[in-house]
Chains A and B, each alone.
Chain A
Amino acid sequence: MSKNSKFLSVLACGAVVTGLATTGPAEAKVEGDTITLGSAVSITGRYAVNGKHTKNGYDLGVKFINDKGGITVGGKKYKLAIQYYDDESTAARGTQLAERLIQQDQIKFILGPYSSGMTKAIAPVVEKYGVPMVEGNGASRSIFNQGFRYTFAVLSTSEQYLSTAIDLAAEQAKKDGKDPSSLKIALGVRNEPFALDIGAGIHDDAKRHGMEIIIDEKFPKEVSDMTSFLTKIKALKPDVVVVSAHTVGGALFVRQMTEQKANAPIVAMTHCESAKIEDSTVFGSAGEDILCAGQWAPELTYRDDYFGSAMDYTKTFEKVYGYVPPYQAAESTASVLVYADAIARAGSFDTAKVRDALAATDMQTFYGNVKFAPTGQNIAKPMVLRQLQNGKYKLVAPSRWADTPLSFPRMAQ
C-alpha cells in the first residue's frame, strides 16, 4: 500500500513539474524597461539534459547583462528577460510554441532551441513572421542552405565537427614520415541529419588528403549495440576511427570498444561530454585518449566585456550551477551576448533593424569570434578537439591554440 501511495505522489510531482514548465503568464515584447526574449527549449524528453545546459547558458547570459546595467536603446537602459516553454523534445511541439511565442506572447526576439532538428523546425516559423532568431545549438548544414534570412547561429556548422581530427591525423602522419594518403578511416555515424552532415564532412576531408574510408557505417536512430561495427574495426585495423552517434551511441561505443578490445591510433567522436565518458566510476579508463569534438573549450584565449576570458566564464558558470559548462551552455550564453550587442547597435526594437544589425555582427566573445555568413552561420570560429588524458579533457587541436601535446597512438584500454 505504501508503495502505491509513494508511486502516486511521485506521479503527482511529475505532473506539477511538467505543468510549471509549460505554463506562464503571457508577456509583451517590451514592458516598462524589460525586453523579453522567447525560447522553446527541451525541459523534458530525450534532449532534456542538453536542454538544461541551453537554458542555464541563456539564464547566465541574461543575468550578467542585467548586472552590468542592461542594454541601452535610444538612451534608455533596458533589462533582459526570457519567456521559456518546454518543447518536450518534439519538433511539432517546438513549431507550435514558436508560433505561440510570436503571435500570442508578442515576443519579437527568439533564442534557439536545443538540437539541429528542433532548430530546423522553428527556422521557417521565424522566417514567416520576420522575427530574428539567434541560436547556438543547431549546427546542421541543412539549416543554412535554405536561404533563411532571420536565423543566425554562433556555432560552427556540422560538416566541420570532426574535420580537425582528420587534419590532425594527417599532421601526425607527416611527423612520423608517412604519407597522409596511406591512412585508412573508419566512419560510424547515426542515421540523422546532423551526424550525416558530419559524415559528409569527413568524406570531403578524406578526399582532400587522399585518404581511404574503409568502413562507412550508418547506425540506426535507436542504436542499442555496436558489435558489428567494432568487429569490422578489429578485422580491418583502420588508422582513424570517427564516430558520431549522439549521447547513447557515444556511451555505447566507448564502453563496447574497450570490452571488445577494439582500438585505433586515433579515435575521435562527438558528444563526449553529454555521454560523460570522463566519469571513471562508470567508464573506468575506457575514455582515455579519445578525441572529443567541441565548439569551445575553457582553455581558449577569447575574451569579452561581460565574462572576461573563457576560463573566467567557466569559473562563473561552475559557481552558479555547480558543474563545468559544456559547450552547449557556452554557445547559448554567447547567443544572448550577440543578441544584446545587435539590439544595442540597432538602437531600436524594430525586428528588421535588429536583423540587419545581427547580419553586420563582428565581435569577440569568450566563446569565440562571431561574424555571420550571408546564410547565417558563424564563419569566424573553428572547431576544437580535446583529448581525455588521465581523466581530464586537454585541448590538443587545432595545434595553433593547443596547450597540450597529442597522446599518440591511443593505447588499448
Chain B
Amino acid sequence: MMIGALFALAAFGMALVWGVMNVINIAQGEFVVLGGYVAVLMAQSGIHPFFAIFVAPVVLYGVGWFFYQTIIKRVVDKDLFTSLLATFGISILVQQLMNQIFGADIRRAPHGFGTWGFFDNLVTVEQVKLLTALAALALGGVMVLFLKKSRLGQAIRATAQNARAARIMGIDTDKVYAATYSLNAAICGAAGAMVAMIWVVEPYIGLVYTIRAFMIAIIAGLGNLSGVVLAGLGLGVAENFAGFIMGAEFQIAFVFSLLVVILVGRSILLGRKREYLK
C-alpha cells in the first residue's frame, strides 16, 4: 500500500505529461533515480535525506526544464513515435551520465528511522515508509489542487483539452508545456528521494519505475488523475500479495496479467456502451 503511493507519484507525472503534451516519457524512471541521488548526496553531506523530498523536486524541475528546452520542445507536436524515441534517448543519456558521475555502485540514503513491530514482528511497519507515503499523498493532493485552482494549473488543463483553442485564447502553450514537463520531473524527483530512503538506487534501476508508472497510467486511463492515485495504491497491494502467494518470480507476471485483464474488461465495457448508443 505504501509502495503504491510512491508509484502513484511517478505515474501521476507520467499521466500529466501524456495527457497534456501527448508525450510518453520513457525517461520517467531516470528522473526518479536522479531524485534518489539528490537524497544520497544530501545524506552524505550530513543533511537528513527526508529534506530531499523538498530539495529534489527543485533540482529536478531544473533538469526537466533543460530537457524540455533542448529536446522535448522540438518533438512535442510530432507524432507519438518521435517523442517516444526522443525520451528513450534522454533515458539512455541520463543513465550513462549517472554512471559516469556517481559510479555504478549501489547507493542508499540512511535515514535512521525505526520500525514498529506487531504480532511478534510478523507484521512490521517501517516509520520511514509511513512518512514517505504520507508525504507522497500530500504532494499528490497539492498537485490536484494546483491543477484545479491556480492560474497555471488551469492553463495546463486548458491546453490538455485543446491546445489550439488554448492558443487562440492567449495561452502561451510553449510555456505551459515547459511547466508541465518540468513539473513532472519535479514530482519524479520527490518520488526518487523516497526510493533512496526505502530501497536503493543505482544508475540502471530506472526502468522498473518507468514501467510501473506507465502501467498505472494505463490502468487509470488517460488524464484521470485521481484514478492514478487509486490504481497506484491498488497495484502496490496486488503486487505484494501476489509475491507472497505465488512467489517473487510471478510477482511482475501477475501485475501484467492484471493489466491485460483490465484492458480487455474495459474494451468489453466500452463495446457495450457503444451498442447502447446505436
The residues of A with any CB-CB pair to B shorter than 8 Å are 3-4, 7, 10-11, 13-14, 17-18, 44-49, 188, 191, 216-220, 222-229, 231-232, 234-235, 247-248, 251-252, 255-256, 259-262, 275-276, 281-284
Contact = CB atoms under 8 A, between A and B. Distances in A.
Contact of B121 (A13, A219, A234): A234
23 contacts: A4-B66, A13-B100, A45-B104, A46-B203, A216-B247, A217-B247, A217-B249, A218-B247, A218-B248, A218-B249, A220-B249, A222-B205, A222-B208, A228-B244, A234-B121, A248-B202, A252-B199, A259-B115, A260-B115, A261-B115, A276-B105, A282-B110, A284-B110
Given A218-B248, A251-B200, 11 more contacts: A3-B66, A4-B66, A46-B202, A46-B204, A218-B247, A247-B202, A251-B106, A256-B199, A260-B126, A261-B117, A281-B110
B251 interface: yes
Interface string B233-269: 0000000100110011101100000000000000000
Interface string B51-84: 0000000000010001000000000000000000
A279 to B, nearest CB: 10
A14 B100 contact: yes
A3 B65 CA distance: 11
Contact of A14 (B97, B115, B240): B97
Nearest to A13: B100
B92 to A, nearest CB: 11
Contacts, number: 113
Contact of B106 (A191, A228, A276, A284): A276
Interface residues of B, number: 39
Interface string B91-104: 00100110111011
Contact of A11 (B97, B104, B204): B97
Given A225-B3, A260-B124, A48 B248 contact: no
A248 B106 contact: yes
Given A45-B99, A218-B247, A3 B62 contact: yes
A46 B103 CA distance: 10
Interface in B101-140: 101, 103-108, 110, 115, 117, 121-122, 124, 126, 128
B91 to A, nearest CB: 14
Contacts of B124: 234, 259-261
B248 A255 contact: no
A325 to B, nearest CB: 16
B207 interface: yes
Contacts of B66: 3-4, 7
Interface of B: 3, 62, 66, 93, 96-97, 99-101, 103-108, 110, 115, 117, 121-122, 124, 126, 128, 199-200, 202-205, 207-208, 240, 243-244, 247-249, 251-252
A140 to B, nearest CB: 19
B105 A49 contact: yes
B199 to A, nearest CB: 6
B122 A247 contact: no
Contact of B96 (A44, A224, A232, A256): A44
Contacts of A225: 3, 199, 240
Nearest to B129: A259
B108 A255 contact: yes
Given A11-B97, A260-B124, A261-B121, A222 B207 contact: yes
A10 B66 CA distance: 14
Contacts of A49: 103-105
Contacts of A10: 97, 100-101
B114 to A, nearest CB: 9
A248 B36 CA distance: 15
B96 A14 contact: yes
B30 to A, nearest CB: 14
Given A46-B104, A276-B106, A224 B243 contact: no
A228 B99 contact: no
A46 to B, nearest CB: 5
A278 to B, nearest CB: 13
B105 A217 contact: no
Given A46-B204, A222-B207, A225-B199, A251 B247 contact: no
Nearest 5 pairs between A and B by C-beta? A228-B243, A218-B249, A48-B104, A261-B121, A228-B244
Given A4-B66, A13-B100, A261-B117, A232 B106 contact: no
